[in-house]
Structure 1
Amino acid sequence: MTLQQAPNALYIHIPFCTNKCHYCDFTSYVLRGQPVDQYLDALEEEMKRTVETMRPERIDTVFVGGGTPTVLTPPQMERFLRAVRSHFPLAANVEFTMEANPGTTDEDKLGAMRAGGVNRISFGVQSFDNGLLERIGRIHNVDDVYRSLENARKTGFDNLSIDLMFGLPGQTLAHLSDSVDRAMALGLPHYSLYSLKVEENTLFHKLYERNELPLPPEEEEYEMFLLLMKKLKEGGYGHYEISNFAKPGFESRHNSTYWRNEPYYGLGAGAHGYANRTRHINLKGVQPYIDASASKLPRLESFEVTEREAMEDFMMVGLRLLEGVPASRFAKQFGGRQLESVFGGTIGKLTSDGLLEQVQRDGDDWYRLTDCGVLLGNEVFGSFIGAETEQIGEK
């Protein structure tokens, strides 16, 4: 796929949550008192203007994130999903994912989701330890997790994923081992495993600055990641992206759009989009977003991505996939430019350092992380920023 084609992927942001978690810096707002119906009106206006500006031929993947999209009531959910289907031509085999918080998915709501076309749910579980859940500001408990998954299966959902976090304050290897064992006992087809990042404008950042956030030592966090990889691989899950594991055929198709640096529509307050080599960020506040959507696309900013930046992005996000990046895809995205002629020096150094390797697959040259490179991914990705700009040029 070239960067000039209309996207085949759609991201929609629902910014409402029952509460704000202590680590969260996403565009999200506590639900109480929010103008949810007016927000859905504005979202539909943005849908109309978006397809008028760049009409999609076909949408292969939809991802509804947040916030917590499942705080919508069943009637609001039905209305929202009807709007998506009316404005975007969804493929017959569309992957339609919605994020959910355990405890916010009763059978009525799940029925509305199912009827509206959702066929994949990603639950933000984070831990199977109630004490840890409370410490990070989650309001669900472990019983809610089991109940929500049971409801989803009863409603007909089988493509289910859960998020787990590691490196949490007060978390030990024993905590994490128990959580991943309990998660795997559920037999789900997909797991996402993320390390805590202390972001600005969060409660955890304030505590961190006051030296009041008891994070695990860096060496223990490293051991946590090794433990997760070992257990999931032994359980038959493919480690297809640095933070993601799946049974064959259940890899996230939508997120793979990002990792392959392909274009996608981004709608909703604070959403990011990428199309025609232009990235945009929408207005973040709920009311500013509503007000702007009445007369125009609700952009906070838009900026053109230069060829150099797009090439760097291609490598940085593409190498997150454990299969790596194929030279042929690079050439297709960048008008026949050869990967080795652009990044040969950087690739050569990373290869000699044991962080990258070249493999032949299907008659193509692929470059992928080594086992050591997986553990030092950020160092690898950063190597491509500003790399060999004199060869790339600015287009």
Structure 2
Amino acid sequence: MEHPLNTTNHVPAVHEWTPRALYIHIPFCTNKCFYCDFNSYVAAGQPIDAYLDALENEMKLTVAEHPPTIINTVFVGGGTPTVLTPPQMTRFLSSVKKYFPLADDVEFTMEANPGTTDMEKLKAMREGGVNRISFGAQTFDDGLLATIGRIHAAQDVIESIANAKAAGFTNLSIDLMFGLPNQTLQQLKDSVTKALELDLPHYSLYGLKVEENTLFHRLYQRDELPLPEEDDELAMYEHLMERLGNAGYRHYEISNFARPGFESQHNTTYWHNEPYYGLGAGAHGYLLGQRHVNIKGVQPYIESANKALPRLEQNNVSVEEAMGDFMMVGLRLQEGVDQLSFERQFNGANLEELFGEALQKLQKQGLLEKVEQPAGYRLTSKGILFGNEVFGAFV
């Protein structure tokens, strides 16, 4: 769509501020899952200690060039960060605290795979400042776990959550996937029942996407990936919304459900299109109107980060692009987008002047509704089911 800003001489600047969120990538895994296109490598034989050295140097260079004020959220993703040994974990977490001033009430999340968090590792995580763990459960059906290339069993999820609670963690989340090969609605219902029995404050629920450079993509191209029909996948999503809603969880973002107060603060940074530091191999960052991607390979990253900031590419984000991003990610949230936040981020720009045509069209289609307080727009219940059609209008 032609952006209205292209026809005017007045282009409001993006409101820029120092990031208050920090993402760090640990690219090592026990094995590569069949659907995964993240920048990750099987840990066996990898120079993990050398990687942590290089990562610490990237921290040092980053804070020298872009000094942080205060960090409210940290998210350590991967890969599987919990493949680090307890001594490596301790060392890594102390380097984070050394370079980044963490808020007293910082939300400090680490991704974990079931079966990779024994009590010694959990103790190292707690002592190092981690206070939230997100476990990749995916499904509680052992047959489906094998189908998607996971090496844990459903029982490992239950034991890992019990260990985390015993170690003092209260802010816990699990990921579940739906639309898996040969998955039935009944299998999903059984998984949701088991997930809810864990009594966690947060659940993330994702439909399978077949990404390039994965085993699933190669199978899909050969017509050897038996995925559920679109209607069945929609029924799975509707079932998830109904079950979690009835259990008292707020559907605060298209793929995420939480008890009040347990929404992911870090991911909300992304959904508000706010800046964040991104460190580690293949990590993305967004600060001072620029997006960057780091070098992806482990050895190339190590060599680069030991000398300079390890950038693969760096791009200025135009105001038009930033505004489109604001709408696309903001409408993922239940609260939607509002005029005041738009003004704050784009120095007084008016949301309806810029996107009026698209907003009216989506309202007529029953996908968006107007909100009075604060003034803005959000997805309707139909819009939640067809979110991609909404987001596409702002590309």
**Fold agreement, TM-score > 0.5:** yes
2:389 aligned partner, one-letter code: E
Alignment partner, residue 264 of structure 2: 252
Specify whether residues 3 and 18 from structure 1 end up closer, same or farther in structure 2 by C-alpha distance, changes over 3 A only.
farther
Shift of residue 4, structure 1, vs aligned partner: 1.5
Residue 52 of structure 2 corresponds to residue 40 of structure 1: yes
What is the CA–CA distance in structure 2 between the aligned matches of 1:306 and 1:115, rounded to whole Å? 42
- Give the SS at the match of 1:124: strand
From 142, 164, 183, give the equivalent of 1:152.
164
Asked if the contact 1:3/1:275 (under 8 Å) is kept, the reply is no
From 220, 228, 231, give the equivalent of 1:216.
228
What is the CA–CA distance in structure 1 between the aligned matches of 2:379 and 2:159, rounded to whole Å? 38
Residue 307 of structure 2 corresponds to residue 291 of structure 1: no
- Give the SS at the match of 2:372: strand
Asked if the contact 2:295/2:312 (under 8 Å) is kept, the reply is yes
Specify whether residues 50 and 25 from structure 1 end up closer, same or farther in structure 2 by C-alpha distance, changes over 3 A only.
same
Shift of residue 146, structure 1, vs aligned partner: 1.0
1:115 aligned partner, one-letter code: E
- Alignment map for 1:317-332 (pairs within 5 Å): 317-332=329-344
Shift of residue 3, structure 1, vs aligned partner: 4.2
What is the CA–CA distance in structure 1 between the aligned matches of 2:172 and 2:86, rounded to whole Å? 20
Alignment partner, residue 98 of structure 1: 110
1:242-285: CA deviation from partner (whole Å, max 9, x where unpaired) = 00000000000000000000000000000000000100000000
1:218 aligned partner, one-letter code: E
Residue 243 of structure 2 corresponds to residue 231 of structure 1: yes
From 26, 30, 38, give the equivalent of 1:18.
30
Structure 2 unmatched ranges of 5 or more: 1-13
Residue 365 of structure 2 corresponds to residue 353 of structure 1: yes
- Alignment map for 1:269-308 (pairs within 5 Å): 269-308=281-320
Alignment partner, residue 316 of structure 1: 328
What is the CA–CA distance in structure 2 between the aligned matches of 1:106 and 1:358, rounded to whole Å? 49
1:376 aligned partner, one-letter code: F
Residue 381 of structure 2 corresponds to residue 371 of structure 1: yes
What is the CA–CA distance in structure 1 between the aligned matches of 2:65 and 2:192, rounded to whole Å? 45
What is the CA–CA distance in structure 1 between the aligned matches of 2:144 and 2:65, rounded to whole Å? 46
TM-score between the two structures when normalised by the length of structure 2? 0.96
Alignment partner, residue 8 of structure 2: none
Alignment partner, residue 74 of structure 1: 86
Alignment partner, residue 184 of structure 2: 172
Asked if the contact 1:81/1:117 (under 8 Å) is kept, the reply is yes
Structure 1 unmatched ranges of 5 or more: 386-395
1:189-244: CA deviation from partner (whole Å, max 9, x where unpaired) = 00000000000100000100111101001110010000000000000000000000
Residue 141 of structure 2 corresponds to residue 129 of structure 1: yes
Alignment partner, residue 194 of structure 1: 206
Asked if the contact 1:242/1:320 (under 8 Å) is kept, the reply is yes
- Alignment map for 1:329-340 (pairs within 5 Å): 329-340=341-352
Asked if the contact 2:15/2:347 (under 8 Å) is kept, the reply is no
TM-score between the two structures when normalised by the length of structure 1? 0.96
Shift of residue 143, structure 1, vs aligned partner: 1.3
From 4, 29, 41, give the equivalent of 2:16.
4
Asked if the contact 2:291/2:315 (under 8 Å) is kept, the reply is yes
Alignment partner, residue 175 of structure 2: 163
Asked if the contact 1:3/1:262 (under 8 Å) is kept, the reply is no
Aligned length: 382
- Give the SS at the match of 1:33: coil
- Give the SS at the match of 1:79: helix
What is the CA–CA distance in structure 2 between the aligned matches of 1:121 and 1:366, rounded to whole Å? 33
2:384 aligned partner, one-letter code: V
What is the CA–CA distance in structure 2 between the aligned matches of 1:368 and 1:162, rounded to whole Å? 26
Shift of residue 99, structure 1, vs aligned partner: 0.1
2:377 aligned partner, one-letter code: Y
CA RMSD of aligned residues (A): 0.6
